[in-house]
Structure 1
Amino acid sequence: MNRIQPTVSAENLTQFETLALDSSMNLADGHARQQLTSAQSKIVAELPDMWAEAIMRPVSEIEQEAAESFFGMLGQHSHPFAAGRTLSCYSSSLAMEILARSLVTTSDAIALLHPTFDNIPDILAGVGLKLIPVEEEQAHDDDLPAELLEQVGCVFITTPNNPTGRVMTEARLRRLAEQCAEYNVVLALDTSFRGFDTAAQFDHYAVLEASGCRWVVIEDTGKLWPTLELKIGWLARSANVDLPIEKIHSDILLGTSPLILLMVKRFSDDGADGGLAELHRTIAEHRALVRAELAGVPDISFVDEQARVSVERLHVGSRMGMDVWSAVRSQNLYVLPCQKFHWARPNEGERMLRLALSRNPSTLLAGAEVLRSALLDTPERHR
């Protein structure tokens, strides 16, 4: 019997993702939902022992070990935890909220990458900041205009970007940091998808520190491992950032769970010992599986040919993305329409869908088969 589909009233991408949570073909959210590897399953089996360890050991000691393992796994050896400038949060979104509330105490405008995941502009605008879009091509290829830097208190970049997967190179980051230092503008980075792309694993903190700019970096463990939303968001900052980040962090939370921190350490150690490379192979295989299943469908294309992150954008040609979304939803498949990634000009994303790849192969194959059929059946719509 077909399920009765509730009326869609999603106002942001997370609400679209929430619609998919109970579906057996949820290809909507970018959280990790693939099977545990054998090594990760052993870590999960040791959770009772970690619980006992978390009770006995100082939380600060556990937190430092988790940070050193996680940042070290990703090549971020100059991270400032030992200097007392890295705070742990329940999630990267909470870290973003703390940053936004800090920025609005000294600034009324921010330059933000476009497109990017819409909870970033929503959180920033929600505290009263004016958002000025910085197109991805400009952010990666050219100096930012002086007139832009003179009117903002922060430049915010997502690298690797969600949904495009584009990574800011070391040379480009260095130049952008130099510009921000020149204009006394905070440079904020969201690196939540860093773990998927080795091109994003040069030591960002060394580059930022050498520039002398005021900076903040948000890191995230939640996209990498299928840990049932048990995760840590890290909020790191420069010594000269001159924002009330620590105070606002303390307004919101006391600290994070030492049990989750121990789990993050163990997963990070496994990642450094080959687990991260295994994840990269898995995502590459899943991307190839989806592309192969959709091969030959007329008037579609994969937008981000070089992407290594755990999501894939599909341009549906002359079709409307919401038409395809509605068609596959009727078959219990959920993907993500892309209008809201283009937070300044939603029409730019209206013919694209985003598919999550951190799933089991059988789920991806079943979803791709439904999507293929829907694409072949969805009529063209011309403007």
Structure 2
Amino acid sequence: MAMNQTGEVTAPAELGNLTQFEYLALGSPLNLADGHARQELTPGQIRIVDELPSLWAESVKRPVEEVEAEARRAYLELLGQRRFPDVPERLLSCYSSSVAMEIFARSLARTTDSIMLVHPTFDNIPDILRGVGLRLEPVEEPVLHGAGIPDDRLRSVGCVFVTTPNNPTGRVLSRSALRRLAARCAEHDVVLTLDTSFRGFDTDAHYDHYEVLEASGCRWVVIEDTGKLWPTLELKIGWLASSENVGLPLAEVYSDILLGVSPLVLSMVRRFAEEAAGGGLADLHRFIATNRATLREHLEGVPDVRFPYPSSRASVELIDLGQRTALDVWTALRRHNVYALPCEKFHWANPVEGSRRLRLALSRPASSVLTAAKALRSVLLAG
């Protein structure tokens, strides 16, 4: 990042990765940059935090395999996933979805040199995939949700990777679309990989993906993530699930990187999932919807500003800025101590497509979203 003569952070001449932008925002109370959960704990969640000493004592005494099984069952069944592979060798526990992604990428690179990746999506996914030497082919969302990938394109890659719900668009691959895509991947012996990190926010994504994948006969991988749902100070679990016939050395590569994860974090995830099943998840959906409404209401009437994905229920909101550039708006917001993400790097195959788009995170205290929305309106009306 660049600085001016007064030491103020300004927009870089060349955009760095999105995580670098997120890092700048970490110390700000008006950080609407990263998609991690940073809202206040609910009363029910505070009670779980108060239970941590007893969860620690319980985790010490119980077999890790038992703690792990209870955590993954509570979390996945909360989100409608009942046919998941309930065996450790096919559902590997990681410290984050990024670690799971790295394990997947290293494993895939041993069997193919090419992968088709949804476009746009968060840039650490293409960065990790490129980092292990894979050649990336973009597939646009309308293709995935519409007519589907042509045969000749499917034959040219070893894997298709889809983020659903997608970040930043919030688009969900429907049951029928997943069924069609999985059947096509089975036909061409292509691995189908899903990143479902934002599934918890959209009930349209709560159909049983594993049931569809297993029925298709395709080789598949699913990356799960608890880190987007709850404000747990980066204590989270990423799971790496796979089909029995996946044909990738996932467990071997996993053992190169991890021995296992903390049973305390697993126990905490179980309790948060149980609280969510008792009504906490519905409360979260209402909270995100309220923050989204606040943002949209305060930008109503601003010339040339629109919301390209009005039905999104993800915990992020994408804004088209009209003729304004995202970096100019980012710089102006920075003077208000407000942080968001310019979207060039989401459009990893054609960054110019995102040069006039901004993404704001909604998993924040309502007061922060309100203040940021007012500041954004002021910046946009100023030019």
State the TM-score, normalizing by the size of structure 1. Answer: 0.97
CA displacement at 1:61 relative to structure 2: 0.4
Aligned to 1:142: 147
Aligned to 1:56: 61
Aligned to 1:274: 279
Aligned to 2:78: 73
Q: Is the 2:344–2:355 Cα contact (8 Å) retained in structure 1?
A: yes
CA displacement at 1:14 relative to structure 2: 0.7
State how 1:35-184 maps to structure 2 within 5 Å.
35-82=40-87, 84-184=89-189
Pairing 1:5–2:29 present: no
Q: Which letter maps to 1:215?
A: W
Q: Which letter maps to 2:299?
A: L
Partners of 1:281 and 1:370 in 2: CA distance: 24
Partners of 2:307 and 2:213 in 1: CA distance: 33
**Quick check: 79-88 or 31-40, which moved more?**
79-88
Q: Secondary structure at the match of 1:334?
A: coil
CA displacement at 1:7 relative to structure 2: 5.2
Deviation readout 1:67-111 (Å, 9 max, x if unpaired): 110011000000002374100000000100000000000100000
Q: Which letter maps to 2:9?
A: P
Distance change (3 Å), C-alpha of 1:86 and 1:113: same
Q: Is the 2:11–2:331 Cα contact (8 Å) retained in structure 1?
A: no
Partners of 2:51 and 2:69 in 1: CA distance: 20
CA displacement at 1:168 relative to structure 2: 0.4
CA displacement at 1:366 relative to structure 2: 0.8
CA displacement at 1:4 relative to structure 2: 3.5
Q: Which letter maps to 1:312?
A: E
Aligned to 2:212: 207
Q: Secondary structure at the match of 1:278?
A: helix
Deviation readout 1:185-228 (Å, 9 max, x if unpaired): 00000000000000000000000000000000000000000000
Off by >6 Å, runs of 4+ in structure 1? none
Partners of 2:323 and 2:158 in 1: CA distance: 40
Aligned to 1:234: 239
Deviation readout 1:227-263 (Å, 9 max, x if unpaired): 0000000000000001000000010010000000000
Aligned to 1:259: 264
Q: Secondary structure at the match of 2:74?
A: helix
Q: Secondary structure at the match of 1:178?
A: helix
Partners of 2:161 and 2:344 in 1: CA distance: 20
CA displacement at 1:8 relative to structure 2: 4.9
Partners of 1:308 and 1:8 in 2: CA distance: 29
Q: Which segments of 5 or more consecutive residues in structure 2 lack a partner in the other structure?
A: 1-5
Aligned to 2:3: none
CA displacement at 1:173 relative to structure 2: 0.2
Identical positions, percent: 62
**Quick check: 6-15 or 156-165, which moved more?**
6-15
Pairing 1:14–2:19 present: yes
Q: Which letter maps to 2:20?
A: Q
State how 1:20-35 maps to structure 2 within 5 Å.
20-35=25-40
Q: Secondary structure at the match of 1:29?
A: coil
CA displacement at 1:24 relative to structure 2: 1.3
Q: Which letter maps to 2:191?
A: V
Partners of 2:9 and 2:318 in 1: CA distance: 26
Partners of 1:70 and 1:219 in 2: CA distance: 10
Task: Tell me the number of residue pairs that the alignment of Structure 1 and Structure 2 aligns.
Answer: 377
Partners of 1:82 and 1:343 in 2: CA distance: 35
Deviation readout 1:326-362 (Å, 9 max, x if unpaired): 0011221100000100000000000010000000011
Deviation readout 1:16-69 (Å, 9 max, x if unpaired): 100100011100000000011110010001111111111111111000000110
Q: Secondary structure at the match of 1:79?
A: coil
Aligned to 1:300: 305
Partners of 2:45 and 2:333 in 1: CA distance: 33
Pairing 1:193–2:163 present: no
**Quick check: 331-340 or 289-298, which moved more?**
289-298
CA displacement at 1:143 relative to structure 2: 2.4
Q: Secondary structure at the match of 1:122?
A: helix
Q: Which letter maps to 2:147?
A: D
Partners of 1:323 and 1:172 in 2: CA distance: 38
Partners of 2:87 and 2:203 in 1: CA distance: 25
Partners of 1:50 and 1:137 in 2: CA distance: 46
CA displacement at 1:129 relative to structure 2: 0.2
Q: Secondary structure at the match of 2:9?
A: coil
Q: Is the 2:168–2:317 Cα contact (8 Å) retained in structure 1?
A: yes
Partners of 1:359 and 1:6 in 2: CA distance: 23
Partners of 1:170 and 1:362 in 2: CA distance: 37
Q: Secondary structure at the match of 1:26?
A: coil
Q: Secondary structure at the match of 1:222?
A: coil
Partners of 2:87 and 2:101 in 1: CA distance: 22
Partners of 1:202 and 1:238 in 2: CA distance: 18
Q: Is the 2:11–2:327 Cα contact (8 Å) retained in structure 1?
A: no
